Amino acid sequence: MNPTATPVRRQLHPPPVPASPFPYHPGSLLSVGDLSLDGISLILTRATALENQDPLTRDRILAKRRVALLFYESSTRTRTSFELAAKGLGADTTLVSSLSSSIEKGESLKDTGLTLRALGAEAIILRHNASGAAWLLEAETRLPVLNAGDGMHEHPTQALLDLRTILAHFDPSTKSCHPERAKRVEGPASQISPPHSIHQVTPETLAGVTVSIVGDILHSRVARSNMLLLPRLGARVLLCGPKELLPDLAALAGPGIAIERDFEAALRQSQAIIMLRIQAERLAGLQLDLEEYKARYQLTGQRLAAHAPEAVVLHPGPIIRGLEVTAGVADGPQSVILEQVRNGVAIRMAVVERALLAETAKGGRA
């Protein structure tokens, strides 16, 4: 070894991902890493407050403010819930999707963003098939950008709504989750918020809790956002899947992350299980034996009853019934999948509000 090599590394090695990318607009949400624990607590608090607020006063909060949804990929849940969230706060929304706009004619992301800004958009919600696209849009427009999923990278609002869902079922005294703890999703939105849900999060909030993320980790932005978020609250994240979809180096993505390739062993340790879809559109030539995959990783009623009878089962959707989960599990008592969808609207109201009020609300709200 040449001793002269060491000082180089010390002087040139930059920090991995900046925890607080200060040049960004304070209202932007590009990565879960952008949020402090206080910032997360504030979003959880506002989500519940907005959810419980009278819709007739709530829609004055962002009355006539302009929010653009820019979608380069198809989406049901994310797009609709962002739109309902923005409209629920009174904002005007417009949707630009890649298949019905000048994007089809070759307009760049930069020019599309600048055009939306010139049309009066005050914030842009971006779903894009390229990792990092949200950073580019932010840098070029200087508008608050909400990352609604960038390639295989991140999906921060999904992680926040997953967190809200887990917390709603979490009993801090026993460090366990109870599927029946939160009220079911039937009934008006204003009545479903769990009364004792946690809003203030700390590095110990989820200490002792294990969350398994199962399936196509490699291609999943939901997995990345969750594995970066949950350990900051003390949770242990277990990643589970075959090597093709879960490379060993995934464990190096951050602290509190481990790999457990034995699905049933992962289930036995977990209080919450996040099942992921096989992303056929991103497999890129990977040969995957789906029958073998199902044999090893499908969440069946039998497996759940035998190894994780108390855990809550999450899925970011879209579900491919009969592949990663059986219909019985998706519709079963441990599934909180539709609660996730509903929590999506509340969380997205909070982040849209944050995006547009960030500059006037510095110092935080109670």
Partner 1 sequence: MTALAIRGGHLVDPAAGVDLPKDILLKDGRVAEIASPGKLKSANGADVLDATGLTVAPGLVDIHVHLREPGHTHKETIATGTAAAAAGGFTAVAAMPNTLPVNDSPETTRWMQAPERGAVIRVFPIAAATRGSKGDAINDYAALKSAGVVAVTDDGLPILKDNIMREVLAAAARVGLSVIQHAEDTRLTQGAGGAASMNLGPVSFRLGLRGMPPEAESSLVERDIRLVTELRDARAHLHVAHISTAAAVAAVRQARRNGLRVTCEVAPHHFLLTEEHVGLYNTNAKMNPPLRSAADRDAMIEAILDGVVDAIATDHAPHAVHEKEVEFENAPNGIIGVETALGLCLRWLHKEWKMPIGRVLSLLSAQPAALLGMKGRGTLTVGSFADVVVFDPKAEWTYNAREGKSKSRNTPFDGWTMQGKVRWTISEGRIAYERAS
What's 183's DSSP letter? P
Kindly state whether residue 16 participates in binding partner 1, applying the rule CB under 8 A.
Answer: yes
CB proximity list for 313: less than 8 A, separation 6 or greater: 272, 273, 275, 299, 304, 325, 329, 332, 334, 335, 336, 337
* 285 contacts partner 1 (rule: CB under 8 A): yes
**Is residue 104 classed exposed, middle or buried when 0-12, 13-18 and 19+ CB atoms within 10 A define those classes?**
exposed
Which of 318, 317, 339, 344 lies closest to 86 in space, CA to CA? 344
Regarding 7 and contact with partner 1 (CB under 8 A), the answer is: yes
Q: Does residue 284 belong to the site contacting partner 1 (CB under 8 A)? A: yes
Find the shortest distance in angstroms from Cβ 124 to partner 1: 15
* Region binding partner 1 by CB under 8 A among candidate stretches 15-23, 60-68, 165-173, 291-299: 15-23
CB of 8 to partner 1, least distance (A): 6
Burial of 197 (0-12, 13-18, 19+ CB in 10 A): middle
User: Torsions phi, psi of 196, nearest 5?
Assistant: -110, 15
Does 102 participate in binding partner 1 (rule CB under 8 A)?
A: no
Region of 149-157, 208-216, 304-312, 322-330 interacting with partner 1 (CB under 8 A): 149-157
Options 110, 184, 321, 365; binder of partner 1; rule CB under 8 A: 110
Residue 283 near partner 1 by CB under 8 A: yes
Of 153 and 307, nearer to partner 1 (C-beta) is 153
Q: Does 18 bind partner 1 (CB under 8 A)?
A: yes
Q: Binders of partner 1: how many residues, by CB under 8 A?
A: 45
Question: What Å distances lie between residue 243 and 147, 218, 278, 308, 352, CA to CA?
Answer: 28, 9, 14, 23, 37
3-state secondary structure (DSSP) of residue 340:
helix
Does the protein bind partner 1 through residue 178 (CB under 8 A)? no
3-state secondary structure of 43: helix
Does 14 help bind partner 1 (rule: CB under 8 A)?
yes
Told to check if 29 binds partner 1 by CB under 8 A, we report no
Q: How far apart are CA 150 and CA 200, in angstroms?
A: 28
Residue span binding partner 1 (CB under 8 A) among the ranges 12-20, 61-69, 168-176, 293-301 = 12-20
Give dist(CA 234, CA 251) in Å, integer.
16
Interacting residue ranges for partner 1, rule: CB under 8 A:
1-2, 4-5, 7-9, 12-18, 21, 108-110, 128, 130-133, 135-136, 140, 150-154, 218, 221, 224, 247, 249-250, 252-254, 282-286
